[in-house]
Amino acid sequence: MVFSTWSDHFANCILARRHPGVRLAAVNVRVLIDGSSELVFDYAVPAGLDVRPGCRVRVPLRRKSATGTVLAIAAAEQMDFALRELESLIDPEPLITPVLLRTGEWIADYYGCGIETVIRSLLPESVRSEENSAKTRRIAVLDVPPDPAVLEKLVRRAPRQHAILSLIANAPGMRLPVADLGEGSAAALKGMEKAGLLRLDAEDVRRDPEADGVEEVLESQALALNPDQQRALDAILASMQSPAPKPILLLGVTGSGKTEVYLQAARHVLDLGKTVLVLVPEISLTPQTVRRFKARFAVQREQVAVLHSNLSQGERFDEWHRIRKGVARIVIGARSAVFAPLPDLGLMLVDEEHENTYKQENVPRYHGRDVAVLRAAFEGCAIVLGSATPSLESWHNTQTGKYTLLRLDQRVDAQSMPLVRTVDMRLEAAKHKGAVAILSDKLRTALEQRLEKGEQSILFLNRRGFARSLQCPQCGHVCQCPHCSVALTYHRTDERLICHVCGHQAIVPRKCPECKDPAIILQGYGTQKVEELLARVLPQAKIARIDADAMRRKHMLRDTLNAFKAHKIDILIGTQMIAKGLHFPNVTLVGILNADLSLHVPDFRAGERTFQLITQVAGRAGRGDVEGEVIVQTFTPHSPSIQYARKHDYDGFAEQEMEFRRLFCFPPYAHCAVLTSRSNHERRAEFTLQTLHLRLLEDLPPGIMLGEVLPSPLVRAHGQHRFQIILRCHRARPLTRHVQAVLARTSLPEDVTVVFDMDALSFS
């Protein structure tokens, strides 16, 4: 039996003994109580109550009622006390399906976390909370057309009632919301209902996340597929017929028509009466994907639902229940949508499967792509992982036969891949007498040429803000965040120094805080500075910026992308929000301003991420009738990541990178986990992890490679000092279970937090 605290359990049992009518039952259930704490209690099931795992129940807790979710059912045990009984079922049907419960148990075991935290991911707060409910409105209904004789009488006797009846009779379906009848209609409606002239009903109103200012979606028709696309579609359809379909990796170069293959595969699934789940890596890509699916399935447009963290509680509540009831048969969303309660799942699509954003940063630290593959296996449905730059883990699975590999090596309509040129910024610095140029001469000339031709350009820089830091040239002082071991970034729009880790803000000093020298200067550059520079260099150009600072307002990103698509913007500057999935046929130039930002970080995946980012950004160019050009500005032009990306050579990059991973036993040849301790007291955080290190060494299972206790690359964040141990093993579960066993028998100081991250993607 699992209880959060003995005192809570004891109080519950004492109340059970004193509570009249409490008796022993044949079946007990384990219930996760709603709320921020992870309270789990056992209750008896009263006779005649049909309770199953995943059901929502009302239970007695102390001296009041609470709601919760049934985790498990077991035969009643012999106890010295009587358990309290469940009060009632909130919903007769389980809100969590058996497959999702099984998936949750796997996540808890694999990633080393409590099933309680997983359940909260399976069942979002908007669904669990009693504060949320369906939105309703009153509606006036005529079951039969009004009698002309009655209308004639009402003209003289009650003109208001006559007007209302006439309006409803001419409305579609002879139904009209009461709110549309104008003020002062309440008394008339009440009298008409009493006289039997009409009926007042209540109907649910959907809170549509895409309804706010969305332009009309025009219906699109299926496009003719080229031979490669047709082969891929045929293989996906054949996979659907298999009793145990193998996951499919669809490796298609940017612009090769992967989305069209997705759409036509989804059409076949819907025709079979089954449902489709589409995962995208970024919330920013969700609206575009939703529009494409709604355009293709115009007749079934109401059957498309969206799930992501930007939804309001009401919107999420409505979408979740539309999915559960089978009204929505296509679900599109970010990472958490992998838990959508779709019935009869026939196909899962994971777009841009290589993206790090599929990894959950908080407990439970699951990987959305891997959980999708697992759920597909449990559901017995086909799954397609699509990318132009697949993760090496997925690529390795195709080489070992776990996945099926399908390829789209050519762009559609015989479009050529963009020409990629590299610019050595060391030579540019020499030309400018040591000053670091933001725009090379080659990129500036190319931008001017595109403007003259009426073509569009994209500039990519994965650093927001105006300047990287504020530094004194006399004493070398850099304005640091007081809570994190990073420099504060200068944001000119807000006239503030902002920490991009914890969000701390500070006023910009007029002189050095240390030596009081007024010559303090800005170092480096971000998207804000690039925008300001372009406005000076190309005053005739219409420029827009997309980053987390500029896109704060709801729908701002969607509106900006729509304006760019309508050619109201000439140059788009952005961070990784514009790096993938966007299709703009008039973009013929892409400039990557600092390709080295992701290359020189303490992470064995740095080269892979750099290759992926350059390839994805470069893929935004030349997707129309005009050939595209990409200019990559870098201080390390001979890096393999940059050279292979320049040639669009994924196979070559994967071959050399996989050899490096194999030699040093890194993923995909081993599972890699990180054990991190953090505390406001540096010595305490380090000592706690050193203690855990010694205990991990005791009875260390064979095959586990245990690293040393080292400061994290980001040694201080949010005011806490951080230390970490990196562990590797060819098998994940022995590693997870060993770490969890050590943590379970170790008493941690109150002010020290220890976090275990299996299959970690971040080492900072």
- Looking at mean pLDDT, say which of 76-85, 143-152, 288-297 comes out highest: 288-297
First-to-last C-alpha distance (Å) of the chain = 38
Could you tell me which residues come within 8 angstroms of residue 758 by beta carbon, excluding any fewer than 6 positions away?
A: 110, 111, 112, 365, 671, 673, 732, 735, 736
Cα–Cα distance for residue pair 261/225, rounded to 1 Å: 8
Type of residue numbered 335: R
- What per-residue confidence (pLDDT) applies to 286? 74
* Burial of 629 per CB tally in 10 Å (0-12, 13-18, 19+): buried
> Span 638-651, mean pLDDT?
94
* Encoded tokens for 595: 């390709």
**Is the link from the previous residue into 243 a cis peptide, with omega within 30 of 0?**
no
175 within 8 A of 139, measured Cβ to Cβ:
yes
Cα–Cα distance for residue pair 318/590, rounded to 1 Å: 40
CATH number of the 419-466+525-658 domain: 3.40.50.300
- Candidate from 110-114, 170-174, 713-717 with smallest mean pLDDT: 170-174
- What per-residue confidence (pLDDT) applies to 112? 94
For the domain made up of 227-413, the CATH class stated in words is alpha beta
- What per-residue confidence (pLDDT) applies to 435? 64
* Burial of 350 per CB tally in 10 Å (0-12, 13-18, 19+): buried
Q: What residues does each domain of the chain span?
A: 6-94, 136-204, 227-413, 419-466+525-658, 671-758
- What per-residue confidence (pLDDT) applies to 22? 42
Predicted confidence (pLDDT) per residue in 487-535, tens digit = 999 998 888 999 999 999 999 998 888 888 888 888 889 999 999 999 9
pLDDT band at 9 (very low <50, low <70, confident <90, very high): very low
Could you tell me which residues come within 8 angstroms of residue 212 by beta carbon, excluding any fewer than 6 positions away?
A: 554, 555
Cα–Cα distance for residue pair 475/517, rounded to 1 Å: 9
Helix (H) or strand (E) holding 276: strand 275-279
> Span 329-353, mean pLDDT?
94
How far CA 107 is from CA of 3, 54, 117, 555, in Å, comes to 21, 16, 10, 34
Where do the H-state alpha helices sit in 176-312? 186-194, 227-240, 258-271, 286-296
CATH number of the 671-758 domain: 3.30.70.600
Cα–Cα distance for residue pair 743/755, rounded to 1 Å: 10
Cα–Cα distance for residue pair 714/763, rounded to 1 Å: 9
- What per-residue confidence (pLDDT) applies to 20? 42
| Two domains, one topology: 419-466+525-658 and 671-758 | no
Query: At residue 177, does pLDDT exceed 70?
Result: yes
Query: At residue 7, does pLDDT exceed 60?
Result: no
Greatest alpha-carbon pair distance for the chain in Å reads: 96
* Burial of 506 per CB tally in 10 Å (0-12, 13-18, 19+): middle
- Looking at mean pLDDT, say which of 291-295, 390-394, 515-519 comes out highest: 390-394
- What per-residue confidence (pLDDT) applies to 633? 95
* E strand spans, 357-471: 382-387, 404-408, 419-424, 456-460, 469-471
- Alpha-carbon dihedral angle through residues 202, 203, 206, 212, given to the nearest 10 degrees: -70
From the options 3.10.540, 3.40.630, 1.25.40, 3.40.1440, give the CATH code of 6-94. Answer: 3.40.1440
Sheet holding 199-204, edge to edge: 175-177, 136-141, 199-204
Pairing of strands 345-351, 382-387: parallel
pLDDT band at 285 (very low <50, low <70, confident <90, very high): confident
Residues in the chain: 764
493 within 8 A of 548, measured Cβ to Cβ:
no
Query: At residue 2, does pLDDT exceed 50?
Result: no
Could you tell me which residues come within 8 angstroms of residue 708 by beta carbon, excluding any fewer than 6 positions away?
A: 693, 725
Does residue 559 or residue 723 have the better pLDDT?
A: 723
- What per-residue confidence (pLDDT) applies to 563? 92
463 within 8 A of 491, measured Cβ to Cβ:
no
Cα–Cα distance for residue pair 183/268, rounded to 1 Å: 49
Where do the H-state alpha helices sit in 545-649? 556-565, 606-618, 640-646
pLDDT band at 215 (very low <50, low <70, confident <90, very high): low
Predicted confidence (pLDDT) per residue in 35-83, tens digit = 777 788 999 998 888 899 999 999 999 889 999 999 888 876 666 678 8
- Candidate from 102-106, 120-124, 396-400, 740-744 with smallest mean pLDDT: 120-124
DSSP state, residue 258: H
- What per-residue confidence (pLDDT) applies to 216? 65
Helix (H) or strand (E) holding 105: helix 98-111
Give pTM, 2 decimals: 0.88
- What per-residue confidence (pLDDT) applies to 637? 93
